[in-house]
Amino acid sequence: MPDRPLDGVRVLDLTNVLAGPYCTYHLMLLGAEVIKVEMPGRGDLARRLGPDPELNRARMGASFLAQNAGKKSVELDLKDDGDRAAFEELVTHADVLVENYRAGVLARIGYPWERLSLLNPALIACAISGFGQTGPMSQAPAYDQIIQGLSGMMSVTGTPETAPLRVGFPVADTVGGLSAALAITAALAGRQRDGRGRFLDVSMLEASLSAMGWAVSNYLVSGIEPQPMGDQNATAAPSGTFDTADGPLNIAANRQEQYETLCRLVDRADLITDPRFADRETRKQHRAELNEQLNDALRRRSALEWERRLSAAGVPAARILTVAQAVAVDQVAGRGFVTEMGNLKVTGSGVLFDGEPLTPSAPPPVLGEHNAELPALLERWRGASHGVR
């Protein structure tokens, strides 16, 4: 894709592990030039994280490879006078700076927002942290699991017998990164209008609470606390996971017409007129009895057969896949979501621009891969105006 929305935008990436790198990865996919500033000899901690010990030893761990393609890596020690001078010149000509240190760390090494803003009044600086830069918990350490627990997310994950459970991937980190990327693109758009830089303070805890949607808003409106319901949907029935001849199947017959179509397709039209299941509210009240009746009927066919029959009739239904099966689905492949770069496969953003997927421009960099290019890079940045002004 020759023309991307953030072409010409220059990003300094001071982030580690997941929330910050995930944010800047999406900025890169959108066209930004991302310079990853890493500690000499050490780099991003994610370089040493992943299931392959050999990659970890080479500082190219799978956790790093997953969200750092297309970026450039330069090693700068922000406690070294010479490196600080180079860093400050980069700041002067950058459009965006992203960091996910614990709150206040960047300020303590000499770069509070006030100084960054003096170096570059048009700079958009984004700080991602567990709890935000202010408040009584701002200095507390936080990883994804800590945020999952504090947000209430774990309390509604699982069944009444198994909750609280951690969601099976670092969702709080991911949501924090996406929230930051959204805020940055909004700030860039605002800067086109008024030329102002911004300081963006992203709290993973608050972003996670926001992303929980109805689980939080229903409580705030009704005062009723959500409860763990396993694979069932609290707002509708039948909506959840059901049995088939060869494995589980998700069905979300949330609308009345979908429910009636489901009943007819499983040869149980009598369930439509059964007073226990006549409408949404009575179905929710008699969820267990309804699920038992439907499971008996669904066990006559395979999950794939039901998926095809129900989907064709407008009833949302699909098998439950493993990660390996999910990334191999024809729908995913057909939209170019996974990019192959030699032996490496990386994911995209899930968004097509003018029908084209957003793909990385280069493989993930080795630590300090672009050190020798730094003088030329600085010269080029000096001669360019701010990307979207």
Per-residue pLDDT tens over the stretch 17-29 = 999 999 999 999 9
**Any domain includes 337:** yes
**Any domain includes 69:** yes
pLDDT recorded at residue 389: 42
At residue 159, does pLDDT exceed 60? yes
pLDDT recorded at residue 3: 84
**Any domain includes 86:** yes
172/169 Cα distance (integer angstroms) = 9
- At a CB cut-off of 8 Å and minimum separation 6, what does 162 contact? 228, 230
Q: What does the pLDDT average to over 247-275?
A: 97
Task: Read off the pLDDT band of 1 (50, 70, 90).
Answer: low
139/108 Cα distance (integer angstroms) = 13
Q: What does the pLDDT average to over 46-64?
A: 95
Q: Which of 173, 270, 274, 296 is catalytic?
A: 173
- Give per-residue pLDDT as tens, 187-202: 999 999 999 999 999 9
Check which CATH number belongs to the domain holding 290 and give it.
3.30.1540.10
Among candidate residues 289, 319, 349, the one where a domain is terminated: 319
* 173 annotated active-site: yes
What 3-state DSSP class applies to 126? strand
Q: How many CB atoms lie within 10 A of CB 178?
A: 17
By percentage, how much of the chain surpasses pLDDT 90?
Answer: 96
Residue with tokens 């009345």: 256
Q: Model-level pTM greater than 0.75?
A: yes
Mean pLDDT of all residues belonging to the chain: 95
- DSSP state, residue 75: E
- At a CB cut-off of 8 Å and minimum separation 6, what does 349 contact? 26, 29, 30, 357, 358
**Any domain includes 325:** no
**Any domain includes 22:** yes
- Give per-residue pLDDT as tens, 127-151: 999 999 999 999 999 999 999 999 9
377/368 Cα distance (integer angstroms) = 14
Asked if the peptide bond before residue 357 counts as cis, ω within 30 degrees of 0, the response is no
N-to-C CA span, the chain: 22
Residues 150 and 291 in one domain: no
Among candidate residues 270, 293, 319, the one where a domain is terminated: 319
Residues recorded for the chain: 389
At residue 383, does pLDDT exceed 90? no
366/376 Cα distance (integer angstroms) = 19
pLDDT recorded at residue 385: 66
Residues 188 and 156 in one domain: yes
Domain count, the chain: 2
**Any domain includes 183:** yes
- What is the span of the domain harbouring residue 28? 10-212+333-382
Residues 163 and 103 in one domain: yes
Check which CATH number belongs to the domain holding 92 and give it.
3.40.50.10540
Burial (CB count <10 Å: 0-12, 13-18, 19+), residue 114: exposed
Q: What does the pLDDT average to over 150-165?
A: 96
Residues 261 and 176 in one domain: no
Residues 147 and 22 in one domain: yes
Look up residue 54 and give its two tokens. 């050999």
Look up residue 134 and give its two tokens. 């202010």
Residues 70 and 165 in one domain: yes
At residue 252, does pLDDT exceed 70? yes
At residue 73, does pLDDT exceed 70? yes
**Any domain includes 218:** no
176 phi/psi in degrees, rounded to 5: -60, -45
Residues 165 and 187 in one domain: yes
Among candidate residues 295, 319, 343, the one where a domain is terminated: 319
Q: How many CB atoms lie within 10 A of CB 343?
A: 6
Instruction: Tell me the C-alpha to C-alpha distance, in Å, between residue 105 and each of 22, 111, 133.
Output: 20, 9, 10
pLDDT recorded at residue 386: 65
At residue 384, does pLDDT exceed 80? no
296/248 Cα distance (integer angstroms) = 13
15/101 Cα distance (integer angstroms) = 7
216/381 Cα distance (integer angstroms) = 45
Residues 124 and 175 in one domain: yes
